[in-house]
Amino acid sequence: MDKLIIRGGRRLKGDVEISGAKNAALPIILASLLSSGFGTVSRVPDLRDILTIGQLLEYLGAEFHYEDKKAVINTERIGIFEAPYELVRTMRASVLVIGPLLARFGKAKVSLPGGCAIGARPINLHLMGLEKMGAKIELESGYVIAKAKRLKGALIYLDIPTVTGTENLMMAASLAKGRTLLENAAKEPEVVDLANALISMGAKIKGAGESVIEIEGVDELRPLNYSIIPDRIEAGTFMTIAGITAGDIIIKGCRLEHLDAPIIKLIEAGLVFENVSEGMRVIGPPRPKAADVKTMPYPGFPTDMQAQFMALMSIAEGTSIIKETIFENRFMHVAELRRMGADITVEGCTATVKGIRRLRCAPLMATDLRASASLIVAALAAEGETTIHRIYHLERGYEKMEEKLPGLGADVRRVRE
Ligand code: EPZ
């Protein structure tokens, strides 16, 4: 396992190119299962999760090749319809095979994902929707076994606007017989990107990005050939990095309209945003000001930005109240930030962050993807040398941080444990 050693206190300057969105790449690569032939997905980030999804596709019988940000998938010979525990355990997004396998082959056996660091994360709404579309769902020794001669369109109301639930059901409905309405659907840009990818394959989808998505099933879909959106969470993470280091960073290649809520909150915290020809210039204040945040489904403040924003608030002037409403255990970064001297108290799903002048370096442990990002944000502003262990968590969602950060003048070294 590797660790990152970061010497903080530098004002980061320069420009950084945003990679493709992890949470768009994962469902869109699996959408290739809905058709037979060679699918191509471009602007795919070089992440651990992409390798995992390639292993999963190869396990099912597909051919998977990833090079130069491009994934090529041949789905002509799918012979296995099961996602095993070992793969699902390492990457929850594997549950997104249920919809495509059921829709194209009428069967799917997928390990229940089990909990993860940030919460129980059940998939009951995914399964409820598939049952409404006529699937027979059984649970057997930790596996979901789903069967359906041919899925049929249905009216599905999602109690929670689940992102991967919306994605699984949208993929399933694309090949179902008849019309499906997904009510209270997730509106995240990654859901819209998947819908656009499916439409490019011949799917009939209207309303993606709204609360109600309408899908008219078709008999067959063309192979995929699609380029994904940039990663809004990576872009938002670099914005908080500019904010915490009093930096001056030009963020290139991100879609700003996907970041309204975080940008508004970062402006409240004193950051200055300037549209320049190469991208968005973000200038951090000498010291950020406290701002309150409550995570909400899109277009609200994204839960995937909560940990990074908390790191920024830990040195802000004043006290900020941060409410996490999406996951029940997404404050794993608090204990680590406290070890750097942060003054944070947690009551249920609310964290009270009293800003201090300066964080101190400390040996830290990454626990999950966004918590590891928040430790990096904090370490870049802390005095002295911070070591972050278990950075494999980070590599799941951030492409080459140990190159992008030094490109902005950060003193960051990756060392084998
Ligand atoms: C997606 O997870 C993202 N992952 C997460 O990003 C992100 O944090 C999350 O959406 C929220 O935006 C991918 O897209 C691969 P949900 P997902 O289903 O789909 C409950 C990252 O850091 N729920 O929208 O699993 C659930 O427990 C990752 O990149 C049910 O109760 O999230 C949670 O409390 C982390 N039953 C809430 O809904 C269900 O059937 C939202 O979960 C489904 C969800």
Indicate the top mutation candidate among 28, 156, 160 to test ligand 1's pocket, ranked by most ligand atoms within 8 A of CB.
160
Tell me, in angstroms, the distance from the centre of ligand 1 to residue 301's CA: 14
Question: Which atom, in ligand 1's list, is nearest to the CA of 298?
Answer: 12
Determine the distance separating the centroid of ligand 1 and the alpha carbon of 270, expressed in angstroms: 30
Q: How far apart are CA 156 and CA 184, in angstroms?
A: 9
> How confident is the model over 305-350, as pLDDT tens digits?
999 999 999 999 999 999 999 999 899 999 999 999 999 999 999 9
Q: What is the CATH number of domain 2-19+230-416?
A: 3.65.10.10
Active site positions, annotated: 116
Task: Quote the ligand 1 centre to 304 CA distance (angstroms).
Answer: 10
pLDDT at 114 over 80: no
What is the average pLDDT value for the chain, to the nearest integer?
96
Q: In the beta sheet, which residues pair with residue 72?
A: 40, 65
Residues 353 and 290: beta-carbon distance below 8 Å: yes
Say yes or no: CB of residue 371 within 6 Å of ligand 1: no
Cβ of residue 159 lying under 6 Å from some atom of ligand 1: no
The response to whether residue 301 sits with its C-beta less than 6 Å from ligand 1 reads no
- The whole-number pLDDT of residue 90 equals 85
CA of 122 to the centre of ligand 1 (A): 9
* Index of the ligand 1 atom closest to the CA of residue 127: 40
Q: Express as a percent the part of the chain with pLDDT over 90.
A: 93
Instruction: Give yes or no for residue 373 CB within 6 A of ligand 1.
Output: no
Cβ 93 under 6 angstroms from ligand 1: yes
205-227 tens-digit pLDDT: 999 999 999 999 999 999 999 99
Q: How far apart are CA 306 and CA 265, in angstroms?
A: 11
* Closest Cα to atom 37 of ligand 1: 326
Atom index in ligand 1 nearest the CA of residue 326 equals: 34
Spacing, Cα 401 to ligand 1 middle (Å): 24
Domain ranges of the chain: 2-19+230-416, 22-218
Q: Which two tokens stand for residue 256?
A: 């700003």
**Number of residues assigned to the chain:** 417
The string of pLDDT tens digits covering residues 1-15 is: 899 999 999 999 999
Q: Is the pLDDT of residue 166 over 90?
A: yes
Please state, in angstroms and rounded to a whole number, the distance separating the CA atoms of residues 310 and 307. Answer: 5
Residue 302 CA, closest ligand 1 atom number: 12
CA of 213 relative to ligand 1 center, distance in Å: 18
Q: What is the DSSP string of 76-142?
A: TT----EE-HHHHHH-GGGGGGHHHHHHHHSEEEEE----BTTB----HHHHHHHHHTT-EEEEETT
Q: Which of 105, 103, 107, 143 is nearest to 123 (CA)?
A: 143
Q: For the whole model, what pTM was predicted?
A: 0.97
The token pair at 234 is 């990576």
pLDDT digits (tens, 9 = 90+) for 219-260: 999 999 999 999 999 999 999 999 999 999 999 999 999 999
pLDDT tens digits along 118-128: 887 899 999 99
Q: How far is the CA of 397 from the centre of ligand 1 (A)?
A: 15
Angle subtended at Cα 30 by Cα 255 and Cα 66, rounded to the nearest 5 degrees: 75
22-218 CATH choice from 3.65.10.10, 3.30.465.10, 3.40.50.2000, 3.40.50.1820 = 3.65.10.10
The residue-averaged pLDDT of 18-28 equals 98
Q: Is the CB of 320 under 6 A from ligand 1?
A: no
CB 30 near ligand 1, within 6 Å:
no
Q: Is the pLDDT of residue 117 over 80?
A: no
- The least confident of 83-87, 261-265, 280-284 is 83-87
Same fold, 2-19+230-416 and 22-218: yes
Query: What pLDDT shows up at residue 116?
Result: 74
Give the rounded percent of residues in the chain with a pLDDT score beyond 70: 100
Query: Among 121, 126, 295, which residue has the most ligand 1 atoms within 8 Å of its CB, making it the best to mutate?
Result: 121
- Closest ligand 1 atom to residue 368 Cα is 22
The ligand 1 atom nearest the CA atom of 396: 29
Instruction: Read off the pLDDT band of 99 (50, 70, 90).
Output: very high
